[in-house]
A and B are shown apart, each in its own frame.
Chain A
């Protein structure tokens, strides 16, 4: 099972990742002769408190995405009630940072858009993606391991 181990940052278990248009959207863009937006390189926090993953809206804008779904989401900012939020289909690659390693890649994943940049990150990797991984949080040694 591929895995990598990284030190915990002051903000928690953070990783480098790339957000791309989904495979299906990329094929459609190719058929229509339209340019494929380049991958958006981001910094993401692994967040077991998120039941759904979220990406900074500007990243989705850079990919030229429009919503393909919606869901109800509840956060401390929503005043105690859930709000309807658009969802987007993307391809997500979690990068270990070591050349030659096998990256975690999900060709089509449903994500929400949430403003995060003020927190120094552009995405939250939630339990929807962690459901396909093993996360080992080694606080005693200040590191974490992700297997996928």
Chain B
């Protein structure tokens, strides 16, 4: 599964990330690389450092926000 390792790293590190609430975290493998104020800056850093290798950019939230689409669409699921 794409980003499986990075998502596990995020979940494992989440209790330590309270001071970074709202920031965008860049994770590569098991490494927390850095935090950024904007999504764009985090994506730029990800490509600059890891090229086309998988990396995760995610906004840090102690409680995961839920996004809504009221139209009946079928979102692509992350395989578990």
Residues of chain A at the chain B interface (Cβ within 8 Å): 22-25, 27-29, 31-32, 47, 49-52, 54, 57, 66-78, 82-86, 89, 107-108, 110, 112-116, 119, 124, 126
> Could you mark each residue 40-80 of chain B with 1 if its beta carbon is under 8 Å from any beta carbon of chain A, else 0?
10011011100110111110000011111111111111100
**Residue in B2, B47, B48, B69 whose CB lies within 8 Å of A67:** B2
- The number of residue pairs between A and B whose CB atoms lie closer than 8 Å in the complex comes to 134
Residues of chain B at the chain A interface (Cβ within 8 Å): 2-3, 7, 39-40, 43-44, 46-48, 51-52, 54-58, 64-78
- Contact B69–A86 (Cβ < 8 Å): no
Bound together, the chains give a CA A49 to CA B78 distance in angstroms of: 23
- Contact B64–A54 (Cβ < 8 Å): no
**Residue in A27, A29, A50, A108 whose CB lies within 8 Å of B69:** A50
Give every chain A residue within 8 A of B57 (Cβ-Cβ): 68-69, 89, 110
Give every chain B residue within 8 A of A86 (Cβ-Cβ): 2-3, 76, 78
Give every chain B residue within 8 A of A25 (Cβ-Cβ): 47
**Residue in A27, A32, A66, A77 whose CB lies within 8 Å of B75:** A77
- Contact B69–A124 (Cβ < 8 Å): yes
Give every chain A residue within 8 A of B51 (Cβ-Cβ): 28, 31-32
Give every chain B residue within 8 A of A89 (Cβ-Cβ): 39, 43, 57
Give every chain B residue within 8 A of A57 (Cβ-Cβ): 76
The main secondary structure of chain A at its interface with chain B is mixed
Give every chain B residue within 8 A of A69 (Cβ-Cβ): 3, 56-58
Say yes or no: A70-B71 contact (C-beta < 8 A), given A25-B47, A27-B47: no
A70-B7, A113-B76, A114-B69 are known; give 12 further A-B pairs, CB within 8 A: A24-B46, A25-B47, A49-B68, A49-B70, A50-B68, A51-B67, A70-B56, A73-B68, A78-B75, A112-B76, A115-B76, A124-B71
Give every chain B residue within 8 A of A27 (Cβ-Cβ): 47
Bound together, the chains give a CA A68 to CA B77 distance in angstroms of: 14
Nearest residue, chain B, Cβ from A71: B67
- Contact B47–A112 (Cβ < 8 Å): no
- Contact A24–B52 (Cβ < 8 Å): no
Say yes or no: A73-B47 contact (C-beta < 8 A), given A49-B70, A86-B2, A108-B39: no
